[in-house]
Amino acid sequence: MRKTTEHSRRQFLRRAGAALIVSVTPLAGHAANRPAIVAVRIWPSADYTRVTLEHDAPLKFNHFTVENPDRLVVDIEGVEFNSVLESIAGKIAENDPHIKLLRAGRFKPGVVRLVMELKTRVAPQVFSLAPVGEYGHRLVLDVYPETPADPLMALLEGRQEVVEPLKIDPELADKAPAKPVEAPRPGKPTVDRMLTIMLDPGHGGEDPGAVGKRGTYEKNVTLAIARRLKARIDAEPNMRAVLTRDGDFFVPLHVRVQKARRIQADLFLSIHADAWIKPDARGSSVFVLSEKGASSTQARLLAQKENDADLIGGVNLAKTKDVFLARTLIDLSQTATINDSLKLGKYLLGEIGSINHLHKTSVEQAGFAVLKAPDIPSALIETAFISNPEEELRLKDDAYQAQMAEALLRGIRQFFLKHPPGPKARLAQLG
């Protein structure tokens, strides 16, 4: 009787154990299949701060804001709290313009809560991105100030000195169109010429652009050249330059155009470094917008690559409207703008040719999204091939960057001397 009882007990335990394993195994498998946060990247800037959480599978989330103090709360469903999330607090820089603190923790089973304590009132954008390139799924938290700075007012406050007119080279005097000079009226503001150039360093933030064999990022090269060019333009008494980005952060293509129009720019120059599948491709190029098809296969492929920057950098499509695409190509002013852009491109190309081999000796055209301002002459400059090992070294070299900046400045001068812009660029000063 005792043996029978013991035998029955063992059988019961075995059955119970088997049942426990059956009931636990699916749960363990479910946990293993949950999305995992694999990386956190933070890109602070004066314009906005971006927080990107990369994960290995789609996930659900919701967000809301809380006042006193101002906070952004994001609940992420179906993820486990891991070491990547645990380290998120240490990624916020003390000088971040918008975020004071960021912490993550388990809110309830299967839900991780992010709490972002803010330095100012913000208008957040929280959205997801599908995998692209080297990136997996991404949850993006863009923290924009509720009241953004006025770039035009900043310009007016930053350049109060007297504006001097352009000094025309005697050799160009006969080629420059004559302009009537109106004498200032007593008691009325005198109007002096001030030219504004928007400089657009390509790529940035999550979008590195092309990468050279030695690990050089296009986004770093373009910013370095743009900063050098800005310094030279600002040194001119009649010019000032503004950067679409002055740091390592992503700017959507349509926002770059909007910034140029907001400050009523006279020119828009987008600075890039080219890349090709063959390492022997070399030289500099200049491109402008095309109303129709591309001028070459290379121009078409390059435009596709540059337009894909929004996919890589990440744009909230629900908040994006290409207001220029719908009207630009049917706007009569666009034709004149493209013609001016072609003239600008020729001057730039001529000056660049004095410091580097030209990949194409004529200005090319294609449907670059970043060149679609309907009323601003715009050009995209490929400063050299970063995919060419020799030119990659040149792009990193201070001397070459300085030469490129000087060449671009000379091209800008030539364009303005022969094709002065209209009255929109004039600033009134009390005389």
Q: Report all structural domains of the chain as residue ranges with CATH numbers, in order of start.
A: 37-145 (2.60.40.3500), 151-429 (3.40.630.40)
Find the range with the poorest average confidence among 55-69, 87-101, 183-197, 398-412.
Answer: 183-197
pLDDT of res. 28: 38
- Per-residue pLDDT band for 186 (boundaries 50, 70, 90) equals very low
* Residue range 84-89: mean pLDDT, rounded: 94
pLDDT of res. 161: 46
* Residue range 105-118: mean pLDDT, rounded: 94
- Per-residue pLDDT band for 21 (boundaries 50, 70, 90) equals very low
Using the predicted structure, report yes or no on whether residue 90 has a pLDDT greater than 90.
Answer: yes
pLDDT digits (tens, 9 = 90+) for 255-283: 999 999 999 999 999 999 999 989 999 99
Find the range with the poorest average confidence among 16-30, 89-103, 222-236.
Answer: 16-30
pLDDT digits (tens, 9 = 90+) for 316-368: 766 655 444 444 443 545 778 899 999 999 999 999 999 999 999 999 998 88
- Per-residue pLDDT band for 152 (boundaries 50, 70, 90) equals low
pLDDT of res. 333: 55
Using the predicted structure, report yes or no on whether residue 53 has a pLDDT greater than 50.
Answer: yes
Q: What is the pTM of this model?
A: 0.79
Arithmetic mean of pLDDT over the chain: 82
Using the predicted structure, report yes or no on whether residue 153 has a pLDDT greater than 80.
Answer: no
Using the predicted structure, report yes or no on whether residue 77 has a pLDDT greater than 50.
Answer: yes
Using the predicted structure, report yes or no on whether residue 163 has a pLDDT greater than 90.
Answer: no
> Higher pLDDT residue, 423 or 222?
222
- The verdict on whether omega for the bond into residue 69 sits within 30 degrees of 0, i.e. cis, is yes
